[in-house]
Every structure is written in C-alpha cells, then in structure tokens.
Amino acid sequence: MTALDQVLSRIDADLDNSLERLFAFLRIPSISTDPAHAGDCRAAAAHLAADLRSLGIEATLSETAGHPVVLGHSGGGDKGRVLFYGHYDVQPVDPLDLWATPPFEPRIATLPDGRKAIVARGACDDKGQVMTFVEACRAYVAVTGKLPLPITLLIEGEEECGSKSLPAWIEANRGSLAANLALVCDTGMWDPKTPAITTALRGLLYEEVEITAADRDLHSGLFGGPARNPIRVLTKILGGLHDDDGRITIPGFYDGITDPPAEVLAGWRSLDLTPENFLKPVGLSEPAGERGRALIEQLFSRPACDINGIWGGYTGAGSKTVIPSKAFAKVSFRLVAGQDPDTIRQAFRAYVRAKLPTDCSARFEDHTGAPAVAVPWDLPQLAAARTALTAEWGRDALLVGSGASIPIVADFKRLIGMDTLLIGFGLDDDRIHSPNEKYDLVSFHRGIRSWARILHALAE
Amino acid sequence: MTALDQVLSRIDADLDNSLERLFAFLRIPSISTDPAHAGDCRAAAAHLAADLRSLGIEATLSETAGHPVVLGHSGGGDKGRVLFYGHYDVQPVDPLDLWATPPFEPRIATLPDGRKAIVARGACDDKGQVMTFVEACRAYVAVTGKLPLPITLLIEGEEECGSKSLPAWIEANRGSLAANLALVCDTGMWDPKTPAITTALRGLLYEEVEITAADRDLHSGLFGGPARNPIRVLTKILGGLHDDDGRITIPGFYDGITDPPAEVLAGWRSLDLTPENFLKPVGLSEPAGERGRALIEQLFSRPACDINGIWGGYTGAGSKTVIPSKAFAKVSFRLVAGQDPDTIRQAFRAYVRAKLPTDCSARFEDHTGAPAVAVPWDLPQLAAARTALTAEWGRDALLVGSGASIPIVADFKRLIGMDTLLIGFGLDDDRIHSPNEKYDLVSFHRGIRSWARILHALAE
C-alpha cells in the first residue's frame, strides 16, 4: 500500500469526524458584511487557526483594516511551496423564512434524487471547500507524520463583502506569501461527475459615464429640436459600441488577444454548454456575442461589453416633457488575457469623447479594473493536478474558463508572480448566496481525496 | 370720440377698480391638483360666474368629472360669435418659503428696473390674463350698454392638472360652444414691447417602450457575451432614431409636412431668436435640430423627437455586474401640421419592432397624442387681430409658432371646426409655476385695451 493509498483510506475511515469538524466551523455565523457579526468572524478565524495549529501548521490571525486574515505556514522542506487560498466568511442568510432549518445548524439532508448533502450557510461557499483541503492535510499528517510539501494558507474573512482589505494586506505581506503555485478552492465541478480546473478568468473594467448638455432641465415643447438631448447623445454613443457582427467597435479593443490552443478549443466545443442548456433556462435562445464564435468561447475566452445600467430624465409613471441636463450609464467590459484594463479604459473614454457633439461634455468614474488571468496551458503543475483529479473521479478533468472575475488570482500574479489553479467541488444546484445552501456529501468526501491526490502529485 | 376711444378711456380711468377685482379673484387659492383645495376651485368658479353675470352674461357652473367649468353666453346679435377660453385654476405654491409675500395675498411690487407688477399665484397664469378679457368686456358694457359681438366664455378649472375632464365635456357640450372663432389668453408677448399672436402649435405624441430579453436579471460575468442585453438593444434602436443631419429616420415621418409661407419664414428669421439669445442662457451654443433649418424653424414649424427618460439595470452608487431583463424609455415627438399622431405612433412602433434582434420583445404604452394646430395664414380675423394689437402697442404684432402643445386648441378644431387665435400678454420673466409669480401692470392694463381693440376689430 503506497503512502497515498494509506492517506485515502484514512480519509474514508475518518469521514464522520471530518464532517463533525466541518459542522463545528459551520455553526459560527461569520457573516462578514454585517457589523453585528464582527465578533463571529473573528471567532471563525480563531477556530480555524487553532485547527491548523493542531496539524503542526504555524497559524495566526493577521489584522487588516477589516476582519482578520488567517495566515498559516507549515514547516519547510525542499519541495516547492504551495499557497492555498479560501475564505471563512459567509453570505447573509435573509430571507430567513425560506430556510427549511436554521442556517447555522448544519445537518445532512437527502435530496429528492437520493444524493446526500450538507445543508447550512457556508456548507459550500466557502467553509466546506476550505475544509476539503484542511482534511486532506490532516490525513497526511495522521498517516505520514507530515505534509507532503510545504504549504502556506491564506484564509480571508471579507470575500463576501468585496475583499476590500485584501490587496493592501497582500502587498504588505508578500514576503510571507512566496510560493511556487497558488491553489484556490472556491469554484465548481463541470457537472456532478466531471471535475474541472478553471484556467482562465475574464478580467473586469467598470466605468460610469455622465453626459451633460444644457446646464438645466428643459421643457421639450419649448426647446425640443434645437436643444441638445444628452439621452439621445448617450444612446447614439452606446448604441454604436457593437457592430452588426457583435464586435466591439472601440479602436484597438481586440489588440493582443490570442485564441486558446486548438486542442482546448476543440475540448470546449465538445462540451454540453449549448444555447439549449445555457440560454433556454433564462428565456433566451441565440448567443448574442461575436458572430462566428461558439457560445463557450464567447463566455470563456472572448471579451464582452455590457451596459449594466442606464438612467436619465423622467422615469416615473406617466409622462413628463423634459429634456434633461444629464444622462448616465454604467458600462463594463469583461477582459481576456492580453488586454490591459488601463489601456481599455483610456480607449473607451477616448471613444466616447470623440463622438460627443457640440455642447456636450462627458465625465467618467472608474469603478473597478482587474486584468484577466490565464494559467499557461503548458504549466507542469496544471498537467499534474489534472491527472490527479482524473484519477479520483474516473473522468477526464476539464480545463474551463470562467466568465466572471476573481480579483485575488490577478493579485497573486501581479504582486507575487504566482500562477493559480482554481479547483473546487461546488455544483450548480448548491444555492450559494441563497437559502438552503448545500454541499454534496460526495463533493466533500471526494474533494478531500482529490486534494490528497493533488498534493501528492505536486510533491512528486 | 369713437365708441372704441370711449371704451379705451373708460379702461384707463377704471384701472384701479379692475385691479381690485383681479385681486379678489387672486385671493381664492384654486389649486386644482390638490384635493384639499377642491372647495376653493369651486369658489373661484362661482366668483367668476357671478362677475360675468354682472355684465349681463348668462354664466353657470357646468359640472365635469373634476372641477366645474364656468360657461358663459352673452346675448345674440348678428355678428359672428367668438368663444373665449381661459382657466381659473392655478399651480401649487410650494416651496412656500421662497415667496417674498404669501402667494394668495396679491400686491403691487416695483421691480428693480422700475416696472410695476402684480405679484400672486395666478397673477399671470391664468387669472390675470382671463381678467384682461373680462375687463375689456366690462368697459364695453359700461360705455355702450352691450358687448360689441356675441361672446361665449369657457373658463375651465383643470388646466394645471392636465385638463383631464375637458375633452369629454367639450364633446358633450359642443352645441353650446358653436362660434366662428376661438380666442385663448394663456400665452405671451414676444418681448415686453412686442405683441404676438401664436398661430402654430406643435402636437405631441408620447410613447413608453419596454424591451425585454432574458426572463430574469443575469450576472454579467457568468452571462456577458452570449446573453442579449436589453439596454444595448434599446440604445442601438434609440441611437438610430436620428441620422447625421439630425433628421428622424422613421420611414414616412416627414410625409405631409409643408413649410410656412416664405413671408412668414422670412419674418421669423429676422427675429432675435438666435442661438445667442435662446440657447446660451441654458448653457448651449448650437442648434441641435435638422441641419439647414434655422433655430426658429426647428422650434416653430419642424417636428422633433426627444427621449424624455431612459432607465434599466443598476442605477445606484458603485457597481453591480448585472444584465437586466428589461430596459425602458419614454420617447416623445413634437408634431407639426400634416402629421397624424396615430400614424406616427404606428410608424414608431413598427420602426422599433423591425429593429428588435432575436430573443427580444417590445411593449408600448401610449401616454398621449395630440395633433399640431396651425391657423390658416389667410384667416381674415388673424389680420384684424394683428392690426388691432399693432395699434395698441405701436409695434407690428408678430405671428409666432410655439414648440409646446395646447391640446384644447386641437380639440376646438377637431370637435367644433373652429380656428383659434392665441393672444396673451405674459412675459418670459413672469415666473409662472414658480414662487413670486407676477404679471406686469402694463401687461394687465394694455392687455385689457388690446382685447377692447380686438373685439372692436372682430365686430367690424
């Protein structure tokens, strides 16, 4: 029996205890956005740090401007160190009356199709996922007396309220965070049987634009015709952001973008992410992105522009014949590797300004900007982790993209120069952020086993 | 001394009494939009009806679904009957603390430039203007024992809250309203020395459009690209409503429109309604309407389209990465003679529907529609009234258009077949609808004299 086999056996045998430890963690209502729960957040952090110390990991609470970070360091060794990231905070629980049982009283439920699941706020996001990694470490320590490779853990407490304190904290603590690779457990499987590694995350640039024409609101009867209407100007400019092929018309917007390897693209296209599966459930039928790109490319590897909000003039009931002084919009861009947020921001602003007619001015507000992140397709640890996941689940682990942004991953790359593997065991029906959040018992159990295999593979 | 001269002398001699009667009318707080003032509205109507009866006019309160109409009929005679329209209701007075003196305690104030003015809510709009006509009638009766021609008066009480009950009331009472010509005193002078007759009023068509894409709000990270964004669809459609020459692109929109006579156009172009005078005070410099049309044409005789309101998605502070399910806009058209509101409405809806991409639907709400009104340039009474005004003010009376709509005038034409002369003595600085509303003493005095001259001319 190899050491890995012994570790996996130990995990199987200890599952009830692993669950009990997860339940203890879940019972702490660490809702980070609610100041009334600040004490609970600190308690959850302390609970986790104590648990890590029981594994021989030197773990402390590191203060931030907000809730503390749990920072853990295992002993050295000559293997490449990995940094594991997760978060101990959870989402609020309202509406409370939609929960079948109290959100901080975890239990095992049997789903209608027979699956067993852990039900509680944080069961999946992210306490359950964090504990898959911690329990894998525990099994290693129990069986071999030590971890298979040096590990740093960074478990933050503000992910659910924007991770506001984290970038400054990382900047201040980059020396303690040095590692060869980051591992994040906050994503999902492709489906209940197919594991996945998220290798590409789109970046985000979010701008607010305000167009001003006259210096006051005007009556459209007395002024309509000769008076410049800022809503008309705004619709003309924003209505021109896409051409008839769905491509964004800002000069230089697509510069620097490359396609994923043909093998990866072919893999994506063979997946069941079809309009029927992805769009029909929300009442749509046809991909609205760039013509000639498969839906999954539009989502994983192509940039996009959305108007997230627009307002101006009279928006109440009935009619008001006003020509407003100002009109506003919130416009965001999902970026892919090769696109720099600052460059795109300047290009967007220049595009708007170039289209302003006489008597109009534009003011911009920068809401956020984060570059896309892409794991190099030829990263050796990517192949190792993929093989390990495939061995555990009996199915090829998929390399997928994500339309959404996870800013921490960009920070790891930018500030520490580390690549990140995003591996998680959540499922689409986990109801994270909603009442009756759950985490499949299989996700938890095989998640622990998956990490044991991945740590083993990375230590080779 | 002619009869007219005697009437004019009587007006001059009786001015203090005329003012006292106006003040009594102004003291009644007939705010039509506020249910708490319903009794005051009725009191104002009763007060006016009693005053008309003192002139030998058979005046009654005629009930409507809202506040009563004051309907007065003078005796017959073989001259062509005229119908005078005004309103006894006034705007609300808030913010009350911006009034220098209580709004319903009328007084004579001296303006910084020495002009004397009546200050009170309704001083101009429309009690002061109505009383110019009533006092002219009173002087005729006092001097000659009768009115110079048969007169019907229709003084309504809901003009400031949309005249909702009036169209149905007119339809039901059209038999009592038969006349050769309507006179309306609710408009202004060109400037303090130059009288004007408004001969063209633009019509109004007001539509609300709602675009729906997905059946719920979506996350722009998870869906951005493949998911149809209704704000993007809306901006594309509305942004295309005007071409680069400022012309409206809806097929058939300009069908049936003719230009005013060259002489009228030349007159307009010689006026001082310049970008410097008209646009600069509101922070604009260049007419934004159809290229090649003078500002005054864009305002008086050309149709226009404005987006009066737009909204959709997230409009609060900060950022939210949402692709909303719906987007909305309020779009209105100022119409000119030759354009039918229903035809334009259908053309607008067809235009929007034709541009909808897959997976989008549009819903429309019809807020209002009123055709434009134009007095025939060769109407004999127009020439007569113009000569009378010119005689009183010592300056050529201008024939002007108005960008705004006055629905009653369209109703008079549509339901009774009457043309309307809009003659009023308001000034741009009268602050109607605002605190410290005023009416120049000269407007009131010479307004009365103007009506005496006009009635004399129409009776010739």
Q: Which residues of B touch A290 (CB under 8 A)?
A: 225
Q: pLDDT value at position B185?
A: 96
Instruction: Give the residue ranges of DSSP H helices in B87-174.
Output: 127-144, 166-173
Which of B271, B322, B330 is most worth mutating to test chain A (most A CB atoms within 10 A of its CB)? B330
In this structure, what token pair is assigned to residue B447? 């307004």
Compute the distance between CA of residue B148 and CA of residue B81 in angstroms, rounded to an integer.
Answer: 10
Question: Residue B393: CB partners within 8 Å, gap ≥ 6?
Answer: B193, B194, B195, B446, B450
What is the architecture, at CATH level 2, of domain B203-257+303-370?
2-Layer Sandwich (3.30)
Q: pLDDT value at position A200?
A: 87
Compute the nearest-CA separation of A40 from chain B (Å).
27
Q: Which residues of B touch A311 (CB under 8 A)?
A: 310-312, 315
Amino acid letter, residue B291: R
**Does the pLDDT of residue B405 top 80, yes or no?**
no
Contact A226 B289 (CB under 8 A): yes
Whether residue A376 lies within 8 A of chain B, CB to CB, comes out as no
Per the listing, tokens 């000119």 go with: B336
Contact B225 A310 (CB under 8 A): no
Over the stretch B98-117, which tens digit does the pLDDT of each residue have?
A: 999 999 999 999 999 999 99
CATH 3.40.50.300 fits A203-259+298-370, yes or no: no
Over the stretch B224-265, which tens digit does the pLDDT of each residue have?
A: 999 999 999 999 999 999 999 999 999 999 999 999 888 888
Q: Nearest residue of B to residue A219 by CA position?
A: B404
CATH 3.40.630.10 fits A3-201+372-459, yes or no: yes
Whether residue B445 lies within 8 A of chain A, CB to CB, comes out as no
- Over residues B121-129, mean pLDDT: 97
- Over residues B330-359, mean pLDDT: 96
Compute the nearest-CA separation of A96 from chain B (Å).
22
φ and ψ at B105, to 5 degrees?
-120, 85
**Does the pLDDT of residue B401 top 90, yes or no?**
no
What is the pLDDT of chain B when averaged over all its residues?
A: 94
Q: How many CB atoms lie within 10 A of CB B272?
A: 11
Q: How many CB atoms lie within 10 A of CB B75?
A: 11
Q: pLDDT value at position A320?
A: 85
Compute the nearest-CA separation of A247 from chain B (Å).
10
Answer whether B22's CB lies under 8 Å from B118's CB. Answer: yes
- What residue ranges of chain A are covered by domains with CATH 3.40.630.10? 3-201+372-459
Question: Residue B212: CB partners within 8 Å, gap ≥ 6?
Answer: B230, B325, B326, B360, B361, B362, B363
Task: Classify residue B265 by burial, with Cβ atoms within 10 Å: 0-12, 13-18, 19+.
Answer: middle
- What residue ranges of chain A are covered by domains with CATH 3.30.70.360? 203-259+298-370
Q: pLDDT value at position B68?
A: 98
Task: Classify residue A440 by burial, with Cβ atoms within 10 Å: 0-12, 13-18, 19+.
Answer: buried
Question: Residue B346: CB partners within 8 Å, gap ≥ 6?
Answer: none
Q: Nearest residue of A to residue B369 by CA position?
A: A319
Report the candidate in B208, B321, B213 with the shortest Cα–Cα distance to residue A307. Answer: B321
Q: Nearest residue of A to residue B360 by CA position?
A: A284
Low-confidence ranges of chain A (pLDDT < 70): none
Q: Nearest residue of A to residue B228 by CA position?
A: A288
Q: pLDDT value at position A287?
A: 96
Q: Residues 99-118, chain A: which have Cβ within 8 Å of B?
A: none
Question: Residue B53: CB partners within 8 Å, gap ≥ 6?
Answer: B59
Contact B229 A306 (CB under 8 A): yes
Compute the nearest-CA separation of A219 from chain B (Å).
8
- ipTM given for this complex: 0.83
Q: Nearest residue of A to residue B402 by CA position?
A: A222
- The pLDDT confidence band at residue B90, using thresholds 50, 70 and 90, is very high
Q: Nearest residue of A to residue B428 by CA position?
A: A222
Q: pLDDT value at position A221?
A: 86
- The pLDDT confidence band at residue B273, using thresholds 50, 70 and 90, is confident
Q: Which residues of A touch B312 (CB under 8 A)?
A: 309-311
For residues B218-239, one letter each, b for 16 or more C-beta atoms within 10 angstroms of the residue's C-beta and e for the rest, the string is bebbbbbbbbbbbbbbbbbbbb
Contact B239 A242 (CB under 8 A): no
Q: pLDDT value at position B360?
A: 98
Q: How far is CA A340 from CA A303, A337, A369, in A?
A: 12, 8, 9
